Amino acid sequence: MKKTDPINRAQRLDSTAAPTAAGFTLVELLVALAMSALVMAAIFRLSMDQQKVHTAQDQVAELQQNIRAALDLLVKDIRMAGYNPTRTAGDGCVTAGAAQFQFRADLNADGDYGDANEDVTLSLITGTGGVQGLRRKITAADDDKTVAAETVIPSVENLEFYYTLADGTRTTTPPTPADVRLVQISLLVRAPLQDDNLENTASYTTPSGAVWGPYNDHYRRRFLSTSVACRNMGLI
């Protein structure tokens, strides 16, 4: 019997052993990197789109909240213009203009208009950074008759008062403020931040026929108009 050479047998065993695991080729690595980049880009794009939608929704909600709060305040104040239960002589409406309205109401029925919140002026005021807001100015009942004013609603871009007088005339500049019987209020509020994906080319028309805009910028806006009857005017 022919004997097997131990060295040759070891070589044969080595040649039939399982090969070691091979690594990735350069082409495979490049393909994997490209696919990963595509997936990450898609995730990033989706995240950015969701962020833009969230920001837009926040701005719309803030606009709606601001404009309704402003109108509620204006209606509540103007409705009391001329309130005078003691029938003391005095004009309920002091000055009336397109963007400013001053009126009085004897809220505590003491026969005068010198107490807090009884002499009110509503107008616009320009604040920090040139941003306008709704201002409510009142004559306070202090010993030194100080005047207090506050910006109650920010980012109010435009305001109009449109008056209906006792004879049915409608105007933004009543010659006799005491003849005012109804006030139409128009408000335009603007979002505090721009949205680069938005181009605002809209125009807004008030009851008097005034046109606001187009602004051709990237700010969201909301426009509302409402009427309030001065139910206490003309009773004396």
Residue 6 lies in a domain: no
- 131-153: string of b/e by CB count within 10 Å (b at 16+)? ebbbbbbbbeeeeeeeeeeebbb
Residue 38 lies in a domain: no
pTM check: above 0.95 = no
Residue 2 lies in a domain: no
pLDDT tens over the chain, length 236 residues = 555 555 555 555 555 555 555 677 888 888 888 888 888 888 888 877 777 776 777 878 888 888 888 888 899 999 999 998 887 766 689 999 999 999 999 988 888 888 888 899 999 988 777 778 899 888 765 444 455 667 678 889 999 999 999 999 999 999 999 999 999 999 999 988 888 888 999 999 999 999 999 999 999 999 999 999 998 887 65
Residue 34 lies in a domain: no
Q: CA of 162: how far to CAs of 44, 59, 105, 107, in Å? A: 50, 28, 20, 25
Residue 187 lies in a domain: yes
Residue 23 lies in a domain: no
Residue 95 sits in which domain range?
Answer: 52-229
Residue 1 lies in a domain: no
